[in-house]
Every structure is written in C-alpha cells, then in structure tokens.
Amino acid sequence: MTNQLDPCTGRISASAEGKITAAADCCDTLPLFCPSGLRCFPKEGEQGFLIPFGGGYALLGTAASTQGLNPGELILESGGGAYIHLKNTGDVVINGLAIQPDGTVVPPQKEDT
C-alpha cells in the first residue's frame, strides 16, 4: 500500500539563493508552481499552501488578501509595494496612475492633508 500525502500549509521560512523552504512538518526545499508566464518568489513569513508532488511537496501559492478588489479584478503586487491593478472598468492602474480603455491617462489622486 502506498503512503498518500495530504495537502498542508506552512510558513515560508527562507527564500534565498533561489530555494524556497517552509516551516512545516511535511517538507523541506520546495518547487514552486505559478501560472504559465508568471514568475514570483514568495516573501519570508507568508503562509503557503503545499500540495503533494513527486513523492514530496510543492508550493502551490501563498495566502492572498482580496482587500481593494471587486469580483473579477486582479492585482499584481511586489514585496516593495509596486502594483498593477486590472479593473472591471477596463482601467489599468499602475502605482496609482490609471490608464483608461480609450488611452486617457489619469494621474494618481493626491490625498487631502
């Protein structure tokens, strides 16, 4: 009888030299799966979802917030805070600068102080 692995979660404990490890009972060094064409490297301390893969585990992704998103929208965000927000209106917002579907560019809104 084969020992089937169950999915588990773990905190990313190290992300240096191109290797990802997790503080979890189930694994050590992990391969990372992303959608085709997308590359990422999770930040240390993020909560990851680990799936059985090749007799061990692989990192499928990390926990994400839906704050600031409407259903159907997407945000790409770096650890340093840079972001690209694809909105349902057709706007693309890059670090606060909005590009509307007709090409109109709307500068970031200044906060009132």
pLDDT, tens only, 2-47? 446 778 888 887 766 777 877 766 666 788 888 888 888 888 888 9
Per the structure, the complete domain to which residue 52 belongs is given by 6-60
pLDDT at res. 26: 64
Dihedral sign, CA of 100, 35, 65, 32? negative
8 Å CB contact between 99 and 84: no
Residue type, 23: A
Give how many domains the chain has, as a whole number: 2
Q: Are residues 71 and 107 in the same domain?
A: yes
Where does a domain end: 22, 43, 60?
60
Q: Are residues 79 and 92 in the same domain?
A: yes
- Surface-to-core class of residue 100, CB atoms within 10 Å of its CB (0-12 exposed, 13-18 middle, 19+ buried): middle
Where does a domain end: 60, 78, 100?
60
Report CA dihedral (64, 69, 75, 81) to the nearest 10 degrees: -80
Q: Helix (H, G, I), strand (E, B), or coil: what is residue 103?
A: coil
Where does a domain end: 31, 60, 89?
60
Q: Are residues 34 and 75 in the same domain?
A: no
